[in-house]
Amino acid sequence: MGYLSHIIILINIYVILTVATGLIVGLSRMISLGQAAFYGIGAYITALCIILLDLSLLPSLILVMLVNGLISLLIAIPSMRLKGDYFILATLAFQFIIFSLLNNLTSLTKGSLGISGIGPVSFLGLFDLNGQQVFLLVSAIMAAIVVYIFYKIYHSPYGTALKALREDEIALQTMGRNTRRLKMLAFIISSAFIGWASYIFATYMTFIYPGGFHLEESIFILIAVLVGGSGTIRGSIAGAVFVIVVPELLRMTGLPDNIAAPMKQIFFGLILIIIMRYRPNGLMGELKL
C-alpha cells in the first residue's frame, strides 16, 4: 500500500506539471525546455519559506506562485520576441542558468549537498502535512484543482484565442489580437502553477538538490505532454501516468540499475519516435486523418 501510495503521489505531481506545461506546449505551440528550472525554483522557495520563514501551506504556496510568475515574466519579456528554435534556445539557456545558480549559491541552496528537513507544514493550524496518506489526499486535491482551473482556461475565450494562435498567429494578429501578450500570459500562468508541483514535491520528499531539476527533467516533462497528447487536459494526465508507471514496470523486470537507467531513456526515445510517426497528436489527442 505504501509503494502504491508513493506512485500515486508522484503521478499527482506530474499531472500538475504536464497540465501546466500543456498550456504553452499544446495550445500556444511554444516548446520550452525551462520547465524544470521553474520546478526547481519553486522547490527551493518552498524550502526557504518553511525553514527560514516558518510559513504554513497557503502563504508559502502563494509566495511560490508569485516568485515563479515574476521570474517567468522577466524571462518572457525578451523571449517572446523570439520564435521557433530561437525560443527553445532561450528557455534552454534559462534552464542552464538556474541549474548553475542552484549549484553555486551555496549560502541559500547549500549547493550539491541540497536542503533537508523540509516540513512538516501546517494547514490553517488544523493539521500538518505529515505522513504518506495525508500527502496522497492533499496531492490528489491539488491536482484536481489544477485540472479544473486549466479546463476552464482551455474552454474560455482566452483558451480559444490560444488555439487560434496555435493554428495561425498571423491571421490572429490581423484580427487585432496582441499575440505576444497572449503568449506571455500563458507562460506566466504555466510557470506559476508549476509551483504547486514544486511545493508538493519538496514537502513530500523533505529533501531537494539541484540534480533533481536538470535539463533531463525538462525533457521528461515535455515527453509526458507530447506522448499523452498536447493541447488536451486528458492527454496531459495520460502522459503523467505514462512517464511514472512505465519506469516502474521496467524496474519490476529485475534489470540491474546500471542497465535499467539507460534502457528507460532508450524506451522513452523509441516510444516518442513511434508516437510522433503514427500518432503526432499524442495518445489522447485528436487524430487528424
**Can you spell out the DSSP letters for 16-47?**
HHHHHHHIIIIIS----S-HHHHHHHHHHHHH
> What distance in Å separates the CA atoms of residue 230 and residue 282, rounded to the nearest whole number?
7
Residue 71 covered by a domain: yes
Residues 6+ apart with CB under 8 A from 233: 19, 22, 147, 150, 151, 154
Residue 134: all three cell numbers together: 495525508
Residue 133: how many CB atoms within 10 A of its CB? 11
Residue 115 covered by a domain: yes
Residue 238 covered by a domain: no
Helix (H) or strand (E) holding 165: helix 157-167
Residue 174: all three cell numbers together: 490581423
Residue 288 covered by a domain: no
Strand partners for 121: 129
What pLDDT is recorded for position 80?
A: 83
Residues of the chain with pLDDT under 50: 287-289
Decide if 142 contacts 16 (C-beta within 8 A): yes
> What distance in Å separates the CA atoms of residue 71 and residue 67, rounded to the nearest whole number?
6
Decide if 196 contacts 138 (C-beta within 8 A): no
Residue 139 covered by a domain: yes
> What distance in Å separates the CA atoms of residue 80 and residue 29, rounded to the nearest whole number?
12
Residues 6+ apart with CB under 8 A from 201: 13, 39, 43, 208
- Bond into 256 cis (ω within 30): no
Residue 69 covered by a domain: yes
What pLDDT is recorded for position 164?
A: 86
Residue 146 covered by a domain: yes
Decide if 22 contacts 225 (C-beta within 8 A): yes
What pLDDT is recorded for position 286?
A: 56
Residue 266 covered by a domain: no
- Domain with 90, as residue range(s), is 2-211
| 208: three-class secondary structure by DSSP | strand
What pLDDT is recorded for position 287?
A: 46
Helix (H) or strand (E) holding 163: helix 157-167
What pLDDT is recorded for position 45?
A: 95
Q: What's the total number of domains in the chain?
A: 1
